[in-house]
Structures are given as C-alpha cells and as structure tokens.
A and B are shown apart, each in its own frame.
Chain A
Amino acid sequence: MSGPGTAGRELQVVATEHGWAARFRAMGSPCEVLLEGGTREQASITAAEIAAEAWRIEDKFSRYLTGNIIDRINTANGAAVSVDDETGNLLDFATTLHALSSGRFDITSGVLREVWTFDGSDQVPELAAVESVLARVGWSRARWKRPVLALEPGMEIDLGGIAKEYAVDLCVCIVRDSPCEPGLVNFGGDLAVSGPPRRRKAWKVAVEGVLPDSADHLIELRQGGLATSGDAQRFLLRDGIRYSHILNPASGWPVPNAPASVTVAADTCTQAGMTSTLAMLEGEGAEKFLEREGALHWCRR
C-alpha cells in the first residue's frame, strides 16, 4: 500500500504545563493528543498507540490510497466485495445516516467532486455535467447486504465524512484505558475528551472563526466530543450567489443557505460530527434542526 499519507509519519511528544502533548499528522489534518497523567515514557507509549490507530484508520479507509478496502470496492466495477466487520459497521452506520437524512447524507456522493471544485472561484459546472455525474450517485442503488457490498459500475464510496470522528472516539478509548488519563484527542478540530481535566474546570477548546486565526467561540468541555462541519474557505461565488461545498446528492447542487459552519458538542465525537453534518445538509433549516434535536451547537452564517 502506498500514497501521500504514509510519507513523513512523525510523532512528537512534549511536556506541557498540565502533562504531555503529542502531535502528528493523519487524515490530512494536524492531530494533537493532550495527556494529563502518567510518566513521559507512559505518555510516549500511549501517544504511539493513538498515532498508530489513527494511521491504521487512514490507511484502511482513505480513498486516496490504492489497495485498501475502499479502493477494492471503488474499482470492483459492479462486482460484489465482501468486507470485514469494521468496514461493515461503518457501512451500516452510513446506511442509518442516509435514512435519517432522507438520503442527503450519502457516502456515494463523492464523485460529484469531479465537476465541483470549491476554490473560491466562479467555476460553477454546467447543468449537463452535473446530471451525468449524478447518474453515479445514490446509496439506495448500492446493494449492501452484510458482509457483501456491490456498487453499480462507476459508483464510488467515500467514508471520509465519518472516519476522522470515528478515529477520535477509538483513540479516546485508548486514553481511557491508559495510565495517562485524562486526555483530549483532537484530529483537525474534531475532538473528544476522556473526562474532565484534573486541576482545571474544563478543557478549553477554541472553535475557529471564519477568518484564519480568529477564534469565534471558546468552549469549555468536561465530557464528550466536539466537531465542526463547514469550511468557510471552500465555496464558489457566481453572479452574487454563494455556493457552499455542501452538496445535495439528490440534485447534485450545493445545499442552498447552508451555514458557514456548524459546531456541535455531543456524547461522542462521532455523534457530534454526524449531527453537525446533518445540520449543514438541512441548509436554511440547520438551526431549527439543531434546536429540535436539543443539540448543543454553535452555528455560524
């Protein structure tokens, strides 16, 4: 297996005021693990386990790598692929989200990126181009009967919308079972804690604002996870209309009036991430959805 992800995998562990901080890169994001307990040696061991877990998940589920299960599914050209338990669990989870969102959360919608590039330009694709790609989108057209998945030829799946949050939660379990508890696992802004910190009231988490380096909210987290959907830098602007990078897989077009970003706090990072994603897909109704669900949220428009 090879790809850009495996190059330069380095792990740094440094002492901080409250314990230890480990830093590495995984899943295209800077990753940080804060550990309050244990010795330097224990912290290094725990951090290494966490980094290994993050890299394992990246290797296994990244759509940019060849030879992994995602690659095998996406290149099967209509043939059925038998998947392992973990992949099966993620596909089941994706199926539930697809249902919960009336089809708006769709792991097969990634191919729309062939026509949509959100680089701040005015390059809005032709209607016909969108229509032709849309023919290859739709989780309801996939035949998923655990443990076998068969996609129609030309279809692809992408678990990138779930994998990072999933990795955070698995890594928090590693912290919880280590002598370095309590700790915080932060993969590119999606994070969770194993419990309240030792000597402070709460972990303080800054949620980035629209402008780089501007923190918009400061959240005190004692238990649970936090995730943000949306990226204010990724959009298209044409004829005064702002096209967000949140695509509706039913139409192939951006969800109108989606918030610039939605941050949600929930029991787990996965739950927080999926809730914020579902809220983005609601577009105009994002806040209403979050209110109705009683989610702890911070919406930015």
Chain B
Amino acid sequence: MAAALVAADAGAIEMSKYSRKNDRSVSVTLAAATCALLGTGVPAPVDAQEEPKWDFNTSLLYYGEDGDRVQDASFKSIIRRLFVDDRSLSVGITVDTLTGATPSGAIRQDTAQTFTRPSGNSAYSVPAGDLPLDDTFRDTRVALTANWQQPAGEKGLLGLGMSTSKEYDYFHLGLNANYAHDFNNRNTTLSAGIAMARDSIESVGGAPTPLSAMLDVGDVSNRNGDQDKDVMDIVLGVSQVISRDLVMQVNYSYSYSDGYLNNPYKVLSLVDGDTGDTLPRTTPLPPDGGPSGQFLFENRPDERTQHSLYTQAKYNMDGKVLDLSYRYMTDDWEIDSHTVDVRYRWPIGSGSYLEPRLRFYTQSEADFYRLSLDSAQDLPAFASSDYRLGNFDAITAGLKYGWKTRNGNDMSLRVEWYTQSGTVPGEQLIGNQAGRDNYPDLNALIVQFSYRFSR
C-alpha cells in the first residue's frame, strides 16, 4: 500500500488539484497513508467535542389552581459559564406573576360575610356558604441567584452562592456554601451545605399584632412595621454508586427559622362555643365597611426547627431509568410528613423520552392548627387556620415529554395535576361546623416548557 502511494510529483499535483473539488479527499488519502505508516489497522473513529462554555436553561411555567384561586406564570432562566478546570459561574433570574384568591383562614358561614382587606383601605364580601377567599392576592416576584463552583483539591468540589428576591411585600437575601468530596474511586461522595437567609416581611398595610382583631376599614391601630426572619439550613449527604446501574443517595437536612413566621394576611374566626358560628361584630357597621364578624389575626411560634431525611435510588434498566425517592420530615410544630416520588424515564427513539411521574404526600397538622377559635375558652398562645399547616394528603400525577431538536438542544414539556385534600380533626369541630366542608381542598394544573442549549 505504501508503495502505491508513492507517486511521481507531476501526477501527484494533478491529483491534488482534482482533490480540491471533492469533499474529504485529502482526509481519505491521508487516513490511508497514516494506516500504512503506522502499520496498524483502521483506527477507531475520532470522538471529540469542545466542552461547551455556555449553558442556557430557560423555562416557562404555568401553575393554576381551580376555582379562581392562585395563578402563577413564571419565567426562569439560568445562564452558566463554564471555565477551564471545572470552574463555573451560573446566574439565574426568575420572574413570577401571581394573581388570584387565597383562603383567608376564616370559616364558612350560612350568611354572607364581609372582611377588611389587608391594606385596611376597603372591604370585600363573601356569599353565604362560600369559603372566604381573599382576592387581593396579586404580586410580581423577581428572584436572582448567582453560584460559583470550583474544584477544591483533587477530589473536592466547592460551591458558593447567593440569592435575592423581591416582591411587593417581601425581600429575601441569602448566602450559601457547599462542599462535596469524592472517595473510593469516586464511587462515594460526601457532601455538606449550609445556607443562611435574612427575609423581610413588608406586609401590605403593616403586619398586624398577633391575635388582634380584624379592624374596620381605615383603622390601622393594630398594624406594626416591617418584620423579619432568619433561616438557616444545613444539609449533609452521601451518595453511593452501588453498581453500574444503581446509584443511591441519602440526605439529612436541618432547618432553623427564627423571627416573624406568621402569615400577616391570615385570620381565624372567633366562634360561639356551642353553635360554632362566627361571633357577629358588636358595634354597628361603619359606612366605609369592616368585618361582619370577629376575626383574629393568626399567631405562630417565632421559632421552627425541621429535620428531614431523604433517600433516593436511581436504577438504570437498559436505558430506562427508575427514580424512586422518599422523604420524611418532622418539626417542632408537630408537623410530620412523608413524600414518595416515583419517576420512570422511558426513552423513545433517539433523544426523546417520556417520563411519567407519581408523587404522594401526606402530613399531620401543626399542634397550633385550629379551624377556628372557641370564644368560650381562653385564647391559645398560638393559633393558625392556614390550610397548609393542616392535616392533608396530596397527589401529583404527571407526564413529561423530552426531545432533542435538530441542532442538538433539549426541549421538554411537563404537564402535572396536583390535588390536595385535607381533614380537620373531629375534636376541633364545634356545633354547626360538623356539617360543613371545612378544609379548602385544592386542585392545580402545572404546565412547564423547558429549553436548554449549550454553546
């Protein structure tokens, strides 16, 4: 073969000119000549690509609760710049637009009810028998995150980040750091992370004095200034490669919140000890309006300590991936929760997959959760009727379809249904309350479109 490639110069130059018109002809001749030189067989084809320097991850999310409750349209974009030596900087922005109504915490009544809005500037009414919803819930949230990641030594990975978000009545500022260390030929990774946040609650109209009454329109005598809270989270984790097809992870998380943990817009109905009906107001309704009954602003403890244990297994079955996880969470508000999440990624064709998902969630109520406050008894120190602190079960069922575009970018569409139903403990039901639908069940639709590309 080598001999055949030895050509007289004149002819070779002719061949070269000819080659100009043909794609890859120089490469083909060169490959053959290289084989002859090295005396090896045909080498395996090259497999190389430039490591991407930029990674863009963008998603649009719609979350909508039925019955004119919360609707959220969210845009999120994370831009990641990758540097040499596995260092990277990512910057993210999220913009949420929230509208809709949210349960105020007051109970249903057989008569129409009126409430003063959180601003204290006007009142709204709720028809007889309806769940009281505060329809003034409207906000735009802008959140920014920045994270730096770099190797620390041969086997460590260090991450430092910050986050901030602003909405009309809330400001968040957080810092976080995490470290992961590989052991055992990278089959075991231990990780630890800490996050600290300082949040300011800048309630519309001012934060109400806890357990004070909802006042008439224009009366702000029970309103206080901005409040704040501090949150610290610590996560310790271990992930272990069990076999080529099985990876497991266990995380323990600790979270401590300190400060103003109330929801400044939530109230409880103060009810008659026998009938369970909301006590009517004691003074005539002023012309500008005010509450039809007696409602007290909630009060939660100013500390909360949560512990959670999370385990996850990812099992690869010939390209189909089963992702199974379980989380147990307990806190000193006596909320215990269990979450089981199952996803199954099922490849269809090249680059496409279907991923059904099923998630079950159950939690017990906080020890200060009350449907209402019994006027016949002393007021408890802490009370909230926030349905998210109640006893409820939730199921999420969804399907995600992901595919690769012609230029190699990833797209996915996720549709999920969320349903939440709860019960109020029987011993909390007073008189007429027993015959009513007390827990505000919730159904929501989640649609998310994601687009990711690298360059």
Contact = CB atoms under 8 A, between A and B. Distances in A.
Given A166-B37, A274-B30, A292-B24, A221 B185 contact: no
B186 interface: yes
Given A271-B30, A275-B27, A100 B16 contact: yes
A102 B50 contact: no
Given A92-B3, A170-B38, A100 B29 contact: yes
Interface string B1-37: 0110111010111011101000110110111011011
A101 interface: yes
Interface residues of B, number: 43
Interface stretch (A4-12, A25-33, A116-124, A212-220): A212-220
Contacts of A169: 34, 38, 40
A278 interface: yes
A139 B6 CA distance: 12
A45 interface: no
B6 A267 contact: no
Contacts of A99: 7, 9, 11-13, 15-16
Contacts of B40: 169, 173
B45 A96 contact: no
B46 A293 contact: no
Interface stretch (A58-66, A68-76, A222-230): A222-230
A56 interface: no
A69 to B, nearest CB: 16
Nearest to A218: B51
A146 B2 CA distance: 10
Nearest to B48: A265
Contact-residue size bin, chain A (C-beta under 8 Å from the other chain): 35 or more
B318 interface: no
Given A100-B19, A295-B27, A95 B5 contact: yes
B47 A96 contact: no
A95 B13 contact: no
Interface string A251-287: 0000000000000011110111011001000000000
Contact of A90 (B37, B43, B48): B37
Contacts of A101: 16
Interface in B44-65: 44-51, 53
A42 interface: no
A220 B51 contact: yes
Contacts of A96: 5-7, 12, 29-30, 33
Contacts of B9: 98-99, 103, 139-140
A298 to B, nearest CB: 7
Nearest to B1: A92
B30 A220 contact: no
Contact of B6 (A92, A195, A265): A92
Given A17-B154, A93-B36, A292-B23, A98 B47 contact: no
Contact of A218 (B13, B27, B50): B50
Interface string B49-84: 111010000000000000000000000000000101
Contacts of A98: 9, 12
Contacts of B436: none
Contact of A95 (B7, B17, B34): B7
A268 B34 contact: yes
Contacts of A293: 23-24, 26-27
B138 interface: no
Contacts of B26: 100, 275, 278, 289, 293
A196 B7 CA distance: 37
A92 B37 contact: yes
The interface centre, meaning the residue of A90, A103, A222, A268 with most chain B CB atoms within 10 A of its CB, is: A268
A95 B2 CA distance: 10
Contacts of A92: 2-3, 5-6, 33, 36-37
B281 interface: no
Interface in A11-26: 16-17
B246 to A, nearest CB: 16
A202 B5 CA distance: 35
Nearest to B37: A93
Contact of B31 (A166, A199, A226, A271): A271
B388 interface: no
A129 interface: no
A95 B37 contact: no
B129 to A, nearest CB: 61
A266 B30 CA distance: 11
B12 A215 contact: no
A274 B47 contact: no
B189 to A, nearest CB: 12
A224 B46 contact: yes
B34 A271 contact: yes
Interface in A108-153: 139-140, 144, 146
A12 B241 CA distance: 33
A90 B5 CA distance: 12
25 contacts: A89-B37, A90-B37, A92-B33, A93-B37, A99-B11, A100-B30, A101-B16, A102-B16, A144-B6, A169-B38, A219-B49, A220-B51, A222-B47, A223-B47, A265-B48, A266-B27, A267-B44, A267-B45, A268-B43, A270-B34, A271-B30, A271-B34, A292-B24, A293-B23, A294-B23
Given A169-B40, A267-B43, 6 more contacts: A100-B15, A103-B9, A217-B50, A221-B48, A270-B34, A270-B38
Interface of A: 16-17, 88-90, 92-93, 95-103, 139-140, 144, 146, 166, 169-170, 173, 195-196, 199, 202, 204, 206, 215, 217-226, 265-268, 270-272, 274-275, 278, 289, 292-296, 298
Closest 8 CB pairs of A and B: A99-B12, A224-B46, A265-B48, A222-B47, A223-B47, A140-B9, A218-B51, A267-B43
